[in-house]
Each structure stands twice: as structure tokens, then as C-alpha cells.
Structure 1
Amino acid sequence: MNICVFLSAADLDERYTRPARDFAELVGKGGHTLVWGGSESGLMKVVADGVRDTGGRLVGVSVDFLSAVARADADEMVVARDLAERKALLLAKSDAVVIMVGGTGTLDEATEILELKKHGKHAKPVVLLNTAGFYDGLKAQFRRMEAEGFLPLPLTDLVFFAEDGVSALAYLEESSGVR
């Protein structure tokens, strides 16, 4: 399975790096391919290292203005001309999506992927990996949107909230029919 992971390129502390590495190792050991932003820094590097070190493949999609920090040893690296093309390529190259901790870029990617799913533009499973409760507030907001009629389908049809990498990957494998 090609698993797209949206996450930060920032260097973060052990609260975030350890769970990211753990998830990445599950992806690699499971024989899956990481599809990610291609960066060789921060959590993006942590996840790519974890997948590579456990036998998984790396498919990066960088963007022109960040190509200088793209990972040189990726199995495949595409450089998009802008962020919109990058998001489209990441989605096209993936069978499933995991949203990990990140800033405004990650939030932008997450909301676009969910909006496309809401409108039936893809049916790929989407997991929001809620490491250290990072997305508790967003989860509450989504529940409010659902309760007040802002979502035209059940929240559970849009996104699965996982508290750890094991449950995230199990959901993806079950949803995709991959074991």
C-alpha cells in the first residue's frame, strides 16, 4: 500500500519524534511505501528514515522552492511547481492518507484532502494520528461541525482518529483490504 503522510518538517521533541518513528517502522515492516513531502528535515526525515531502515520504499513529492532539502536517496522524487500541484500528486500517488502533527501546511493539506473526500473526489481512507493529544481541539471542532449540520456525511466516513501508530495502520490495512 502507498501511504501518504502529511506532517511537519520541523525538528520536534521526543513526544512527537518517537511515535513518528514507531509508525514509520510499522509502515516499512509491513512492506508499504511512504509517500511524503520529500524533505530531509524534521519529522519528515524521521519518518523517511524509519521506513527506509525497515525495508519500505520512499516516494517523495517536493516543491520547487524546497527542492534543495529533498531527500537524495528516495526511490522516487518528483518536484512539483507549486503547493497545489504537490498536494494533487501526493494524493494521486497514494492509496491511503495519514495526517500527523504539523503546522499550517499540514493543516492545509488535511483540510483539502478531507474536502475532496467529502465531495467524492476520492474514497481513500484518511487517518488523523492524534499523537500526544495534538489534535484534540480539531477533533472537537469536527464533532461540532457534524452535530450542527456542517458535514453532509458522518464524520466517521471522512476520517478515523487514531491515538497510536498501531491502530492507524490497522485501520488503513482493514479499510484497504491489505493484510
Structure 2
Amino acid sequence: MNVTVFCSAFDLDERYTGPAREFARLLGERGHTLVWGGSHAGLMGLVADEAKAAGGKLVGVSVELLSHKTYQGADELVMTRDLAERKAVLLARADAIVVLVGGLGTLDEVTEVVELKKHGLHIKPVVLLDTEGFYQGLRTQLDRMEAEGFLPKPLDQLVRFAQDPAEALALLEG
């Protein structure tokens, strides 16, 4: 399975890197392909290193703006013109999407893939790994949107939340 992973390109605390490392290891051990933002920086680089060390294939999708941060050693590297094209390629190459901790770019990516799923433009599973309750604020907002009629279908048909790496992978493989 090609699993697109959205996550931070910043160096983070072990409470975030540990679960990300475990998820990437499981991904590689199970023979899945990591499709990610193509960077060697921060959590992105750590996830790529771990998936590769565990036997996974790597498909990086980078953007010209960040070409100086591309990961050396990916099995395939796709360069895109801009961030919008990169998001489109990341989604197109995915059989499933997992969202690890991240900043504004990661939030932008997850909201776009969920919005596209809401409109029926893809049916790929989307799972947020809620490490240390990182996505509880987003979960609260999405629950409110569902409760107040802003979503055309049940929230769990659009996105799922996992508490640990094994659960995240199980939701994809299930």
C-alpha cells in the first residue's frame, strides 16, 4: 500500500518523534511504501530514515521552493512547481493518508484531503495519529461541525483518529 504521510519538517521532542518513528518502522516492516513531502528535515527525515531502515520503499514528493532540503536516498523523487501541485501529487500517489504531528502546512494538507473526501473526490482512508492529544482541538472542532450539521456525512467516514501507531496502521489495513 502507498501511504502518504503528512508531518512536520521541524526537529521535535521525543514525545512526538518516538511514535512517528514507531509508525514508520511498522510501515516499512509490513512492506508498505512511504509517500511523503520528500524532505530530509525534522520529522519528515526521521520518518523516511525509519521506514527505509525497516525495508519500506520511499517516494518523496518535493517542491522546487524546498529543493535544497530533498531527501537523498529515496527510491523515487518527484519535483513539483508549487505546494498546491505537491498536495495533489501526494494525494494521487496515496492509497491511504496518515497525519502525524505538524504545523500549518500539515493542517492545510489534512483539511484539503478531508474536504476533497467530503465531496467524493476520493475514498482513501484518512487517519490522524493523535500523539499526546495533539489533535484534540481539531477533533473538538470537527465534532462540533458534525453535531451542528456542517458535514454531509458522519465524521468517522471522513477521518479517523488513532491513539498509537499500531492503531493507525490497523485502521488503514482493516
TM-score category (smaller protein): over 0.9
Q: TM-score, normalised by structure 1?
A: 0.96
| Residue 124 of structure 1, CA deviation | 0.2
Partner of 1:22: 22
Aligned counterpart, 2:172: 172
Q: Distance in 1 between matches of 2:98 and 2:171?
A: 11
Deviation per CA, 1:74-104, whole angstroms, max 9, x where unpaired? Answer: 0000010000000000001110000110000
Aligned to 2:8: 8
> What's the offset of the Cα at 1:46?
0.9
Gaps of 5+ in 2: none
Unaligned stretches of 5+ residues in structure 1: 175-179
Q: Counterpart of 2:49 in 1: which secondary structure?
A: helix
Q: Percentage identity across aligned positions? A: 66
Q: What is the alpha-carbon root mean square deviation over aligned residues?
A: 0.4
Cross-structure match for 2:37: 37
Q: What's the counterpart of residue 97 of structure 1? A: 97
Q: If the length of structure 2 is used for normalisation, what is the TM-score? A: 0.99
TM-superposed deviation, 1:72: 1.4
Amino acid aligned to 2:139: K
What residue identity is the alignment partner of 1:143?
Answer: D
Runs of 4+ in structure 1 over 3 Å off: none
Count of residues paired in the alignment: 174
| Equivalent residue, structure 2, for 1:63 | 63
In structure 2, the residue matched to 1:121 is 121
| Mapped partners of 1:30, 1:68: distance in 2 | 31
For 1:59, the aligned partner's letter is V
> 2:77 maps to what in 1?
77
